[in-house]
Amino acid sequence: MALFKPKFITFDCYGTLINFDMAGAAQAAFADRVSEAEMPAFTRDFAAYRLDEVLGAWKPYDQVVSNALRRTCKKWQVEYSPRDGDAVYTACATWGPHPDVPAGLAKVAEAFPLVLLTNSMNDLITHHVPRLGAPIHMTITAEEVGAYKPQMKGFEYMLDKLGCGPDEILHVSSSLRYDLMTAHDLGITHKVFVARGHEPSTPYYGYTEIQDIGGLAAVVGL
């Protein structure tokens, strides 16, 4: 079988490339109100509410964060202040890439144009792209699309903008729920799951699994 050579390699950014430490930001903000023992469950609920928030109509990501925090605090009967949402959202701009990312991306960028499809704001993503260590051909944000993943609209918008069919790209993500399930439903046949421990592997969705971005070069024959 001939090795698949995509026209573009497309990526989720936060979690896959950038070390998305929303749990750490929430822990710092709520350490005075949530015990160390309860914090893992508190941050899991925060993640679940963020997912629920992005399934509706588009709104700025700071509102996604603040709404999800407010709902989490209501469930936990913990006091919430708008300052908490501001602190967690502000922390987002400080995050850098996973250690394996700069070298791994630079290797594949020698042969393929790289594209980001990210649940980000236009101004927020500018903090992160320069830290990736490789040239990015195109960055598409949820703000540009007017919808967040896992909604299909972002993928459809990206394919239209790239002039590609779903069988002509390779999409890379560490999240099944935000990316790879939707990619599967849209007929994106070539997918890579980066097993960063966010979610369990589910081979039904038809991807190649790698442990970090350093493994991507071998997937595309480099």
3-state secondary structure the chain: CCCCCCCEEEECCECCCECCCHHHHHHHHHCCCCCCCCHHHHHHHHHHHHHHHCCCCCCCHHHHHHHHHHHHHHHHCCCCCHHHHHHHHHHHCCCCECCCHHHHHHHHHCCCCEEEEECCCHHHHCCCHHHCCCCCCEEEEHHHHCCCCCCCHHHHHHHHHHCCCCCCEEEEECCHHHHHHHHHHCCCCCEEEECCCCCCCCHHHCCEEECCHHHHHHHCCC
What type of residue sits at position 18? I
% residues pLDDT > 70 (the chain): 99
In the structure, what pLDDT confidence band is assigned to residue 3 with cuts at 50, 70 and 90? confident
pLDDT tens digits, residue range 38-52?
A: 999 999 999 999 999
Average pLDDT in the 141-152 region?
Answer: 98
pLDDT tens digits, residue range 73-86?
A: 999 999 999 999 99
Domains and CATH numbers, the chain: 8-19+96-220 (3.40.50.1000), 22-93 (1.10.150)
- What separation, in Å, do the N-terminal and C-terminal C-alpha atoms of the chain show? 16
Q: With 70 as the cut, is the pLDDT of residue 192 above it?
A: yes
Q: With 80 as the cut, is the pLDDT of residue 217 above it?
A: yes
Residue 197's closest CA among 219, 176, 172, 218?
176
Residue 62's closest CA among 14, 123, 150?
123
Q: With 60 as the cut, is the pLDDT of residue 115 above it?
A: yes
Average pLDDT in the 24-32 region?
Answer: 96
| Res 2: pLDDT | 59
Average pLDDT, the chain: 96
